Amino acid sequence: MVYAAVGFDLLTALLDTWSLWCDVAGDRPLGMRWHAASQELLRGKRYRPFEDIVRESAKQVGIDPKQASALLRRWGEFEPWPDVPPVMERLDATRRFIVTNCSRKLGRLAAFRAGSFELVMTAEEAGAYKPDPLPYRMALDRLDLDPAEVLFVAGSAHDVGGAARVGMDVYWANRGGAPAPTDGTALRQEPDFRGLLDTMGIAD
């Protein structure tokens, strides 16, 4: 196998979180605007409570505070993308970890939906939101991993540059068809996990 470990973004690469944001909002375009507003409030910043960001972003896009509370209550309902479980089963013997932009409580709750991992590093624990290098570096240090021996599976464009800047190769599962970032380049980009096993050096 090419890599000693694989790291994952949780809330886009592994889990279909967008569907729940949209369901709670009651409308897909509104739900996606809410999600985007939350990302703008946190991206690359020092940590402040993720739950506050969910509520503030709801207010920005005209969503009732009760709906923000409902989203937080339903955080454990996320489902893995359909292509994720069979790939994760093939990676069962591989060291796996998560770096995610949320609180400790919500990060562990969501990670449980995606499988088992050696470490779930949250923005709360690191004190900063990705793509700040702190969450990635803390995960690598905690696991005693050299970034050169790790493949990071990004779910969003900002993860591509963030993980690459700390020295990890990046596989980008670009599920939303986002434009390429200007601050980093993925080793491989696919719309899902279809090329991940090959990139990891695991034969079909």
Mention every residue, 6+ apart, whose C-beta is less than 8 A from residue 163: 7, 131, 136, 152, 154, 170, 184
CA 179 from centroid of its chain's CA atoms: 17
Average pLDDT over residues 62-77: 96
Pairing of strands 79-80, 15-16: antiparallel
For residue 9, is pLDDT > 90?
Answer: yes
Q: How many Å from the N-terminal Cα to the C-terminal Cα in the chain?
A: 13
- Give the mean pLDDT of 160-188: 95
Look at residue 204 in the predicted model and tell me its pLDDT. Answer: 65
pLDDT at 158: 94
Q: How confident is the model at residue 67 (pLDDT cuts 50, 70, 90)?
A: very high
DSSP string across 65-99:
HHHHHHHHHTGGG-EE-TTHHHHHHHTTTSEEEEE
- 139 pLDDT tier (thresholds 50, 70, 90): very high
pTM attached to this predicted model: 0.96
**Confidence (pLDDT) at 203:** 72
Q: Is the pLDDT of residue 1 over 80?
A: no
Res 27 pLDDT > 70: yes
Q: What percent of the chain has pLDDT over 70?
A: 100
Q: In sequence order, which residues have a C-beta less than 8 Å from that of residue 132 and are 6 or more positions away?
A: 44, 45, 46, 126, 162
CA distance 161 to 106: 24
User: d(Cα 123, Cα 202) in Å, to the nearest integer?
Assistant: 31
| Mean pLDDT of all residues belonging to the chain | 96
Amino acid 202: pLDDT? 87
Residue-range domain boundaries for the chain: 5-16+78-199, 18-76
The highest-level CATH class for domain 5-16+78-199 is alpha beta
